[in-house]
């Protein structure tokens, strides 16, 4: 199957992975809306919210708690938005939850390598 997120999960294409366990992978969005914009994907290929089972949804939100705590601690945003697109709004047809931090003053340094270092060191 030609799915870009399955390729990221299988390490066939690189990602800035900030958290991973047996069920999910969390990595920086390649085109971030803000500093620390992260995607959480289940390791099973599931298309969207209509298809996802409750157990996998719980795995995604378990990881989401961990990652939002990490982002809050390390990047200190003033708010965090969770977003999940379906249908025509969804570009990548592998379920993913966006974590989008917001800041009072938009952070200038949005370099993925620097954000990765801040979140993982």
| Contacts with ligand AMP, residue ranges (CB under 6 A) | 4, 15, 27, 29-31, 39, 85, 90-92
Annotated catalytic residue 94: no
To Zn ion, the closest distance from the beta carbon of 83 in angstroms equals 19
- Chain mean position to CA 27: 5
CA distances from 81 to 17, 20, 32, 88, 110 (A): 19, 21, 13, 20, 17
| Alpha-carbon gap, residue 84 to 48, rounded angstroms | 9
Residue 15 interacting partner from Zn ion, ligand AMP, none (CB closer than 5 to 8 Å by kind): ligand AMP
| Alpha-carbon gap, residue 96 to 91, rounded angstroms | 10
To ligand AMP, the closest distance from the beta carbon of 53 in angstroms equals 20
> Is the CB of 5 or the CB of 27 nearer to Zn ion?
5
> Is the CB of 36 or the CB of 42 nearer to Zn ion?
42
Question: For binding to Zn ion (CB under 5 A), which residues are involved?
Answer: 3, 5-6, 45, 94
Check 37, 45, 96, 98 and give the catalytic one. 96
| Alpha-carbon gap, residue 46 to 51, rounded angstroms | 6
Specify which residues 79 forms β-bridges with. Answer: 102
Residue 92 interacting partner from ligand AMP, Zn ion, none (CB closer than 5 to 8 Å by kind): ligand AMP
> Is the CB of 47 or the CB of 76 nearer to Zn ion?
47
């Amino acid at each position: 199957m030609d799915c870009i997120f399955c390729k990221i999960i299988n390490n066939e294409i690189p990602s800035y992975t900030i958290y991973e366990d047996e069920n999910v992978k969390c990595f920086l969005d390649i085109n971030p809306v803000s500093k620390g914009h992260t995607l959480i994907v289940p390791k099973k290929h599931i298309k969207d919210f209509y298809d996802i089972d409750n157990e996998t949804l719980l795995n995604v939100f378990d990881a989401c708690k961990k990652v939002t705590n990490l982002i809050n601690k390390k990047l200190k945003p003033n708010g965090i938005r969770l977003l999940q697109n379906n249908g025509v709004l969804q570009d990548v047809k592998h379920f993913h939850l966006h974590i989008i931090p917001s800041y009072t003053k938009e952070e200038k340094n949005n370099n993925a390598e620097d954000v990765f270092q801040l979140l993982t060191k």
